[in-house]
Structure 1
Amino acid sequence: MKILITGAGGFLGQHLARELLSNPEHQVILTDIVDVPVPKGSKNPHNATTVKADLLKDQSVITSDLDAVYLFHGIMSAGSEANYDLGISVNLESTRIILDKLRHTKPGVRVIYSSSQAVYGQPLPKIVNESTLPTPEGSYGSAKLMIEILVNDMTRRGLIDGIVLRFPTISVRPGAPAPAASAFISGIIREPLAGIEAKVPIKDRSFPSNVCSPKVLIANLIHALTLPSDALPKHKRVVNAPGLTVTIQEMLDALVKVGGEDKLQYVKEEHDEALVRILKSWAYNFDNSLGLSLGFKAPESFEAAVREYVEFLEEEKSWK
């Protein structure tokens, strides 16, 4: 398959590309607004093409021989709140333009759109599923919801073959912190393991989040690539990617089990009102029956996610 990944310079695009490139039959095009590398550790790096492009102005990566497209580019939640114009330009306008180009260039192409559980806002039922009315309380979630509706309509009309996955918070993310309200959910593990201070913007240790490890999410993204088109109604293409509910205390417990109790000294709890407002608007208790029935996987535990991260760090050393 010939597969395009937008926003491919980010950690998720790099992880997915590395996995796709383990299959010698895949050709992968990685594009971003910055120089994007071929992921280290790729088994077939010669099958990768990298393209630096501003997708608002240049859609030349969209060609008639594409088999599938992963839309990952975006400005995260905190970044979208801080800069409304930039968030709308990247999260809404550029994605709409790409979808429009796709429908003209390769009608019916499989499009996998990375949405977010930030589309949900208060008030919420005790358990959330795909039938729960999305009422986003942030610009990031609002833009995601608008694109979801567009993907649904374009799929209904046969213009694309879309699948929307609403991501849980991904943890543990490697690399630098992302400009997202949920960034601390990776930082609370990643930074202490590296002997660096981690700031937690909410002092309530019972605060819950819905999370998924990168490894499990990548497996689900690969699964979405070949999900039969008729597995979902043509006008309802949204699936909540399975996650698990974990509190801050449970995150700290996992940190201690994997890294040792001395790592707690690096955790600094404070109160950031702007971030707390965003975080408390998000859903955390999900019924993932639909996703599981379609063959998507659920994470085992948060401790397993932390151990996956440690294993990744060890594997990464062999690529250097």
Structure 2
Amino acid sequence: MSTAEKADTRAATGDPEAGTDAARRTPGLVPVAETMRTTERHPPEPSGAVPAGAGRPWAFWRLLGSELGLTFRRPRNLVMLAVLGAVPVIIGIALRVVASDGQMGGMIQDVAGNSLMLTFVSFSFLVLLLMPVAVSVVAGDSIAGEAGAGTLRYLLAAPAGRTRLLLVKYLNAVVFAYAVTAVVALSALLTGLILFPAGPVTLLSGTTVSVADGLLRILITVGYVGAAMAALAAIALALSTFTEVSIGAIAATLVLVIVCQVLRAIPELGSITPYLLPTRFTNFDAVLRSPIDTGALREGLLAFGAYIVLFGSIAWARFSGKDITS
């Protein structure tokens, strides 16, 4: 008797194995026992497996590290750092040429007399325009750039959350701001040591301090100027949450800086000058006095902190309730 005939006989006599044989003969049908084995969706986790969510405390730092990697690998940002590093070299060479012609006086005399002074001169030139440009480009592109590229929704689809993503973007801009400040300081310091003599530093107050004390004052200046750029980054980040075009946020930040500079130049508006952010940018010259004018530095840092809190709150309020469509 063939296999098919045996199956028909079992079915006629009520044999329970008949259904299984019939199912196996019928195309497309799978026995129930086999189906249960092949459709299990949650197999038991092997011993020693990492529970889901165990790595979440490190998710923030991984996201920040990824953001920093993208920022410092982007050619545009590297070019800006290179340009800012080249400006102190150009300033130093120009001052060296002028000093060699015997035209000594004021700033030229200060720099020619000591190499460390080139760092403070470079900050005086760059902190009011070129450094704000570099910081505004990175901070203004942080949210608007993601929205314009259509990647913002994908970033928010991860369990990072809007607040965490906003904080990562801001910390990334702050790190870049301090990188900009450090590049200017190192370039100016190395250029000064090559082109001008090193020795005791004569401060604006006429007091002479040692080289080690001068280097410490440069370090304080780097911290102060970096905080100033961090406050500007908060403004650019807040503006970045209002648009999907990064150039709009960048341009708006730079226009704001320029307008503040114009307002500072009008004597009749002197009452509002202390509240304008660029007014505090050059307070780092307090380190060139003996003793250091800690009051001026403290006022500047408090102003920077107030701007960070104000515009950080604006950015959070806007971004946390914003409809993400791109």
The TM-score, its normalising length taken from structure 1, stands at 0.29
Question: Which is higher, the Rg of structure 1 or of structure 2?
Answer: 2
Q: Which has the higher strand share?
A: 1
Higher RCO, Cα 8 Å, sep 6+: 2
The TM-score, its normalising length taken from structure 2, stands at 0.28
